[in-house]
Structure 1
Amino acid sequence: MAVQVARVTEVIGASPKSWDDAVAVALKRANKTLRGLTGLEVVRMNAHVEKGKITEYRARVKITFILEE
């Protein structure tokens, strides 16, 4: 059995729609440059507010991927 080594990187996704969409944006972007994605953890969610309304949802996400040999 081969030994696998994983790495974790943190990205922030933003969306005007929802926190779910912000997470999806972060994952989609990570998927463009990283291979072997195996999981994610939502670390923090926050939002930008203007005039009492949310204008941007933000999700800080830790992405786990397997390093290639």
Structure 2
Amino acid sequence: MSGSVARITQISARSDVSFDDAVKTGIERASETLRNLTGAWVKEQKVEVRDGKIVAWQVALEVTFVLD
């Protein structure tokens, strides 16, 4: 029997640059701890606003990794 089993975990990442940077930061950090990372789903995006200006971008990610 062949196949694989994956696990999905939720993480949050934040950037002071952009949503893309927040996603990249989250994936890079997750891959330092999780082996066999295969994908991610951006579940939620939000921004922090101060004085009418965006000062931070945040994403909630579900990352998938295949179990050994």
The normalised TM-score by structure 2 is 0.95
- Any unmatched runs of 5+ in structure 2? none
**Number of equivalent positions:** 68
TM-score using structure 1 length = 0.93
* Runs of 4+ off more than 3 Å: none
Q: Deviations over 1:32-64 (max 9, x none)?
A: 100001111000000111000111100111100
Tell me the equivalent position of 1:10.
10
Name the structure 2 match of 1:44. 44
The letter for the 2-side match of 1:15 is: S
1:31 matched residue in structure 2: 31
Q: CA RMSD in A?
A: 0.9
Unaligned runs of 5+ in 1: none
